[in-house]
Amino acid sequence: MTAALRIARAEWGFWLRSRLLRTALAVFGLLLTAIAVLSATRIETESARRAAQQQAAEAAFIAQPDRHPHRMVHYGHYVFRTPPPLAMFDPGIDAVAGQALFLEGHRQNSAAFAEAPSAAGVGAFGVPHPALAYQLLVPLLLIALGHAAFAREREAGTLAPLLAQGVRPAQLAAGKAIALGVAALAMLLPAAGLAALAVADGESPTVAALQMLLYAGYLVVWVLAVLLLGALLPRRADVLGALLLVWLATTLVLPRLAASHAATAAASGKIAADIALLEGLRNAGDGHNAADPAFDALRRQLLAQHGVERVEDLPVNFRGVVATIAEERLTALLNEAAERRMAQERAQSAQLAAFAWASPALATGIASRALSGTDLAAMHRFQREAEALRFEFVQGLNQVHANRLRYADDIQRSVDPEAERRTRVDASHWRLLRAFSFEPAAPAARRANAFAASVALAAWLVALALGLRIAVARLRP
Amino acid sequence: MVPALEADALTILRGGRPALRGVSFVVRPGEVHALLGGNGAGKSTTLLAFLGFLAPAQGSVRVEGADVGADPAHARQRIAYLPENAALYEHLDAYENLDYFLALAGLRAVRAAIDAALDRVALAPAARTRRLETYSKGMRQKVAIALALLRETPILLLDEPTSGLDPVAIDEFNRLLRELANAGRTVLMVTHDVYGACQVADRIGLLRDGALVGRFEAAPGARIDTEAVHAAFVAREPA
In a domain, A110, yes or no: no
> Does residue B162 register a pLDDT over 80?
yes
Residue A96, in any domain of the structure: no
Same domain, A319 and A415: yes
Q: Are A407 and A35 in contact (CB under 8 A)?
A: no
| For chain B, counts of helices (H) and of strands (E) | 8, 10
Contacts of A196 (CB under 8 A, 6+ apart): A208
CA distance B88 to chain A (A): 6
Which amino acid type is present at position A460?
A: W
What pLDDT is attached to residue B236?
61
Judged by CB atoms closer than 8 Å, whether chains meet at A156 and B89 is answered as yes
For residues A147 and A186, state if they share a domain. Answer: yes
Q: What is the DSSP string of A408-447?
A: HHHHHTTT-HHHHHHTPBPGGGGGGSPP----PPPHHHHH
A166–B104 CB contact, under 8 Å: yes
Which chain B residues are Cβ-neighbours of A20 within 8 angstroms? none
Tell me, yes or no, whether A308 and A249 share the same domain: no
Element (H, E) at B8: strand B5-14
- Whether the complex's predicted ipTM is more than 0.90 is answered with no
The answer to the question of residue A88 being in a domain is: no
What dihedral angle (degrees, nearest 10) is formed by the CA atoms of A57, A61, A64, A68?
Answer: 150
Q: Are residues A271 and A211 in the same domain?
A: no
In a domain, residue A16? The reply is: yes
Q: What is the pLDDT of residue A267?
A: 60
**Residues 6 or more apart whose Cβ sits within 8 Å of residue A448:** none
Lowest-pLDDT range of A43-52, A127-136, A234-243, A265-274? A265-274
Mutate to test the interface with B, among A1, A165, A167 (most CBs of B within 10 A): A165
Q: What is the CATH number of domain B5-88+154-234?
A: 3.40.50.300
Mean per-residue pLDDT of chain A: 90
Residues A232, A380: one domain? no
Residue A85 counted as domain residue: no
* Contact between A164 and B81 using a beta-carbon 8 Å cutoff: yes
Same domain, A43 and A175: yes
- A 346-365 residues with CB < 8 A to B: none
Q: Where are the domains of chain B?
A: 5-88+154-234
Q: What is the pLDDT of residues A349-370, one digit of tens each?
A: 888 889 999 999 999 999 999 9
Classify residue A250 by its DSSP letter.
Answer: I
- At residue A286, the pLDDT reads 79
Side-chain-facing half-sphere of A179: CA atoms under 13 Å: 29
Residue B218's alpha-carbon distances to B185, B196, B202, B206, in angstroms, are 18, 14, 5, 14
The reply to whether A322 and A284 lie within a common domain is yes
Burial of B36 (0-12, 13-18, 19+ CB in 10 A): buried
Residue A251 shares a structural domain with residue A271: no
Distance from CA of B81 to the nearest CA of A (A): 6
Give the total number of structural domains in chain A. Answer: 2
Q: Is the pLDDT of residue B222 over 70?
A: yes
pLDDT over threshold 50, residue A445: yes
- DSSP, collapsed to helix, strand or coil, labels residue B17 as strand
Distance between start and end Cα atoms, chain A? 25
The answer to whether A20 faces chain B, any CB pair under 8 Å, is no
pLDDT digits (tens, 9 = 90+) for B224-233: 989 999 999 8
Nearest partner of A160 among B140, B133, B159, B210, judged by Cα? B159
- Give yes or no for a contact between B187 and B33, defined as CB atoms under 8 angstroms apart: yes
What is the pLDDT confidence band of residue A188, given thresholds at 50, 70 and 90? very high
Chains A and B: how many Cβ contacts under 8 Å?
67
Contact call for A161 and B106, based on CB within 8 A = no
Surface of B (175-234) touching A: CB under 8 A: none
Pick from A256, A61, A269, A36: nearest CA to A138: A36
Give dist(CA B223, CA B199) in Å, integer.
6
Average pLDDT of B100-109?
90
> Do A191 and A322 share a domain, yes or no?
no
Give the pLDDT band (50/70/90) at residue B96. Answer: very high
Residue A122 pLDDT grade (very low, low, confident, very high; cuts 50, 70, 90): very low
| CA–CA distance, B156 with B142 (Å, rounded to integer) | 15
- Classified as helix, coil or strand, B63 is strand
Residues of A in contact with B150 (CB under 8 A): none
Residue A16 contacts B, CB cutoff 8 Å: no
Mean model confidence pLDDT for chain B = 90
> If you compute the radius of gyration of chain A from its CA atoms, what whole number of angstroms results?
30
Give me the mean pLDDT over the A457-475 stretch. 95
Question: Using a CB-CB distance cutoff of 8 angstroms, which residues of chain B are in contact with residue A1?
Answer: 103
- pLDDT tens per residue across span A210-262: 999 999 999 999 999 999 999 999 899 999 999 999 999 999 999 888 888 88
- Residue pLDDT, tens place only, B2-24: 999 999 999 999 988 999 999 99
A393 in the same domain as A314? yes
Whether A164 and chain B come into contact, CB under 8 Å, resolves to yes
- Among A269-278, A288-297, A303-312, top mean pLDDT goes to A303-312
Closest residue by Cα to residue A439 from A215, A207, A119, A105: A207
Which residues, at least 6 apart from A334, have a Cβ–Cβ distance to it below 8 Å? A107, A108, A277, A387
Which of A7, A17, A164 is closest, CB to CB, to B76? A164
Residue-number span of the structural domain to which A443 is assigned: 267-452
Report the 10 Å Cβ neighbour count for A465: 16
Residue A313 lies in a domain: yes
Is residue A275 domain-shared with residue A317, that is, in the same domain? yes
